[in-house]
């Protein structure tokens, strides 16, 4: 019964997140209508669509208040990051090339791929090297958040041309009909704006309300994951890695697919990469900082083959998969042949990731060699930290 109830709760939370993000996309599209070179995708789109990961990590940490809660946050952000970098570009490619048949290949600026791909890998390395002590304090979270601030500032200094932004014209269609009916359908744009045109003040109101609804639904999502974990007899952080990660990535997917179908290919891809940077830096850093300061307690990570091994190997796995995906993107963008084959390859890599996760959950012997290798790589990187004891 817990399995069915958990899945139902996760499903409804996912629907609410999905519908709320339509309003967010309308608002962010207006506010970032003049941004080029993938800046909108890497900032406004990425931040807003990553609110589910931030809220989910926070609720996991607050509700459990221990290492397992933080491990669940790591599971959510790591799983979401893999989903973002594999499934979102694949969904973009399938939507534009296979379903709508708009183009044969997606034209993405290779400089955008290098900019965001390298920044993402550096953030993952920093997460492994500098946030690996068994006792985590507020300054670990503050360090992660500072990385994102540096990244955002760099976006405005690294100049990009408009290659990959073909027909990125923002359009908002004013609503018709009653606001109550729109609200019941979770059509936030029309419920809030009515039949009025979009403006900056209305866009900000819509953005804030959409984000608030997403945050509330994440509490529901965490509850569903805990129930599902109890029913399946899985650790909560494994459930978070698969189910919470996919559910919280719905906004990123929707926004990227819409951007791509509007011709904003740079934003579509940079949203996926930028969302991962935000997830690692803020979705982990902010809840960690707030929790340790408000409750005046540290997060003590356990040793052995529990949370530490889980966190260690999946962080390294995320680093490797990010590298592979970035290489696929860059080669495809450089040759101007980012097409259906790339999309299928990305989906295959995600399937292999899920297979590995399930094998890890059931302690399958055939992954032991790879698991030990990932943990060894993590230990080597952790030993590089000047704070490591």
Cα separations in angstroms, 175 against 22, 181, 183, 194, 233: 13, 11, 12, 6, 47
The predicted pLDDT at position 301 comes to 65
**How many structural domains is the chain composed of?**
1
Nearest by Cα to 288 from 149, 150, 116, 127:
127
Q: Is 311 a member of any domain?
A: yes
What is the pLDDT at residue 323? Answer: 92
Is residue 388, in this structure, part of any structural domain at all? no
249 inside domain? yes
Residue 291 covered by a domain:
yes
Assigned domain for 222 exists? yes
* Residue 196, domain member (yes or no): yes
Helix (H) / strand (E) containing 217? helix 200-232
CATH number at residue 355: 1.20.1420.30
pLDDT of 4? 87
Question: What pLDDT does residue 231 have?
Answer: 86
pLDDT at 107: 81
Residue 161: the pLDDT is 56
Q: Is 288 contained in some domain?
A: yes
**Structural contact between residues 293 and 138, judged by C-beta atoms closer than 8 angstroms:** yes
Distance between CA atoms of residues 273 and 279, nearest Å: 10
pLDDT given for residue 270 in this prediction: 77
Tokens of 388: 């490591």
pLDDT in the model for residue 281: 87
- Which residues, 6 or more positions from 184, have their beta carbon under 8 angstroms from its beta carbon? none
Domain of residue 315: give its range: 2-382
Q: Is 363 helix (H, G, I), strand (E, B) or coil?
A: coil
Cross-strand bridge partners of residue 106: 338
User: What pLDDT, on the 0 to 100 scale, is given for residue 169?
Assistant: 53
Instruction: Output the pLDDT for position 176.
Output: 65
pTM reported for the whole predicted model: 0.80
pLDDT string in tens for the chain (389-residue length):
778 888 888 888 888 887 777 777 778 777 777 665 556 666 776 777 677 778 877 777 766 665 666 667 777 777 888 888 888 888 888 888 877 777 777 888 888 888 888 989 998 988 888 777 677 788 888 998 999 888 888 877 766 555 545 545 556 666 666 777 777 777 777 877 777 778 888 888 888 888 788 778 887 888 888 888 888 888 777 787 788 888 878 777 877 887 788 777 777 777 778 888 888 888 888 888 888 888 777 777 655 456 667 778 888 998 999 999 999 888 888 887 788 888 899 999 999 999 998 898 888 888 989 999 998 998 888 888 766 55
124: in domain: yes
| C-alpha 51 chain-centroid distance | 9
User: By the 8 A CB rule, do 185 and 15 touch?
Assistant: no
Kindly report the CA angle at 338 between 82 and 102, in degrees rounded to 5?
110
């Amino acid at each position: 019964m817990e399995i069915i109830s958990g899945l139902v709760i996760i499903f409804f939370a996912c629907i609410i997140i999905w519908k709320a993000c339509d309003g967010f996309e309308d608002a962010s599209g207006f506010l970032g209508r003049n941004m080029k070179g993938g800046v909108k995708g890497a900032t406004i789109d990425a931040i807003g669509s990553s609110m589910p990961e931030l809220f989910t990590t926070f609720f996991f940490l607050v509700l459990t208040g221990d290492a397992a809660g933080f491990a669940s946050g790591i599971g959510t952000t790591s799983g979401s990051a893999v989903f973002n970098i594999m499934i979102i570009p694949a969904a973009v490619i399938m939507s534009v090339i296979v379903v709508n048949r708009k183009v044969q290949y997606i034209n993405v600026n290779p400089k955008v791929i290098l900019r965001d791909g390298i920044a993402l890998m550096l953030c993952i390395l920093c997460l492994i090297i500098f946030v690996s002590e068994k006792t985590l304090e507020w300054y670990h979270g503050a360090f992660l958040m500072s990385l994102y601030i540096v990244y955002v500032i760099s976006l405005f200094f690294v100049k990009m041309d408009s290659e990959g932004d073909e027909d990125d014209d923002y359009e908002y269609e004013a609503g018709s009909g009653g606001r109550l009916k729109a609200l019941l359908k979770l059509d936030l744009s029309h419920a809030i704006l009515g039949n009025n045109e979009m403006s900056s003040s209305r866009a900000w109101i819509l953005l804030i309300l959409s984000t608030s609804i997403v945050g509330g639904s994440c509490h529901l999502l965490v509850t569903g994951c805990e129930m599902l974990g109890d029913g399946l007899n899985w650790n909560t952080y494994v459930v978070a890695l698969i189910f919470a990660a996919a559910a919280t990535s719905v906004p990123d997917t929707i926004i990227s697919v819409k951007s791509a179908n509007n011709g904003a290919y740079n934003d579509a891809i940079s949203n996926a990469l930028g969302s991962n940077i935000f997830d690692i830096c803020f979705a982990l850093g902010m809840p960690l900082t707030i929790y340790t300061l408000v409750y005046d307690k540290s997060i003590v990570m356990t040793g052995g083959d529990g949370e530490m091994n889980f966190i260690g190997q999946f962080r390294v796995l995320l680093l490797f998969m990010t590298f592979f995906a970035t290489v696929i993107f860059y080669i495809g963008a450089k040759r101007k042949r980012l097409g259906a084959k790339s999309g299928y390859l990305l989906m295959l890599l995600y399937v292999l990731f899920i297979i590995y996760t399930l094998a890890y959950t059931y302690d399958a012997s055939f992954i032991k060699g790879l698991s030990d290798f990932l943990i060894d790589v993590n230990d080597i990187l952790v030993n590089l930290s000047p704070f490591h004891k």
